[in-house]
Amino acid sequence: MNQTLDLSVPAAEKNNGLFPAKIRQFWTEAGWAVRVSTVMGIMLVLLAVFGSFIAPHDPNAQSLLARLRPPVGFERAMDGYWLGTDQLGRDILSRCIHGLQLTLGIAFMGALIGMLLGSTLGLVAGLKGGILDSFIMTVVDIQIAVPFTLVALLAMTLFGGDMHVLVIVLGIAYWEQYARIIRAEVLKLREMPFIEAAVASGSSMWRIARIHILPNLVSPLVVMFTINFSNIVLLESTLSFLGLGLRPPTATLGSMVGMGRDFMPNAPWIVIAPAVLIVMVTFVLQMLGDWLRDHTDVRLRGK
């Protein structure tokens, strides 16, 4: 009886290439826009993390001799100032790197606070119900009815200039979205047979929430966090553009655009570089958020 020797490579070994299997699958299935946004996102993260080591100058160092110098390659450009200088002779490249770090850090902390606050209140409202549920949802409806940008402008006008205040203001910007969606998910999960079986077995509601409900909330939380991260970047940039962000000379991308707008006719490079970074950050986050939503929502997978 002939025996055939199986020389095929195990599946686990086939996936031990340059990219892991999941990353290779993502790269194959993702459209060109998602691929571009992924590459851009990696570049932005690397620039934010390691940018301090490659920044050619102190972002706040002033030099009247280097004032309003154009980028390298243009007339009157100065060596070492690759993206030119601003009205005080500060290096645009170094300030963009520093501004990107601050903008992403502040927006991330604000988005994290909003996610923790909103998801906690949504979880409590969905689990407890009753008067507490009604109270939380009333507060949610009030925040939805009042344009939060106006509230943020008022808060930053009264208490602005401090990083902690800015992070808190950004953190409460979108918490109601988490509360509404998480509450709806909890109410839906409570009707599932495995939840009813856990209740019948005598498990407490908080144990059920920790073991059965919270793991099922990870996907919607990741999607909401990614999209709201983008929205908070825009909100922070708007507040900083209007002069309601961090106090000078600390620079975020929005404050750089705001301080350079008066020099647009003669020195547009002051505004162009930070504005391009804002567009890149929001594009990356929105594209990745949309892709995550499409691939985690079972109602959209077949479309």
pLDDT, tens only, 153-197: 888 888 867 889 999 999 998 999 999 999 998 888 888 887 778
- Does the bond joining 10 to the residue before it have cis omega, within 30 degrees of 0? no
Residue given tokens 């930053």 in the structure block: 156
- pLDDT in the model for residue 7: 45
pLDDT band at 16 (very low <50, low <70, confident <90, very high): low
Domain spans of the chain, in order of start: 95-296
Residue given tokens 């109410």 in the structure block: 187
Q: What percent of the chain has pLDDT over 70?
A: 90
- What is the three-class DSSP state of 116? helix
Q: Could you tell me which residue, 51 or 300, shows the higher pLDDT? A: 51
**Tell me, what DSSP letter sits at residue 161?**
B
CATH of domain 95-296: 1.10.3720.10
How much is the pTM?
0.85
How many angstroms separate the first and last alpha carbons of the chain? 51
Which residues lie below 8 Å from residue 94, measured CB to CB, with a gap of 6+? 55, 56, 57, 58, 59
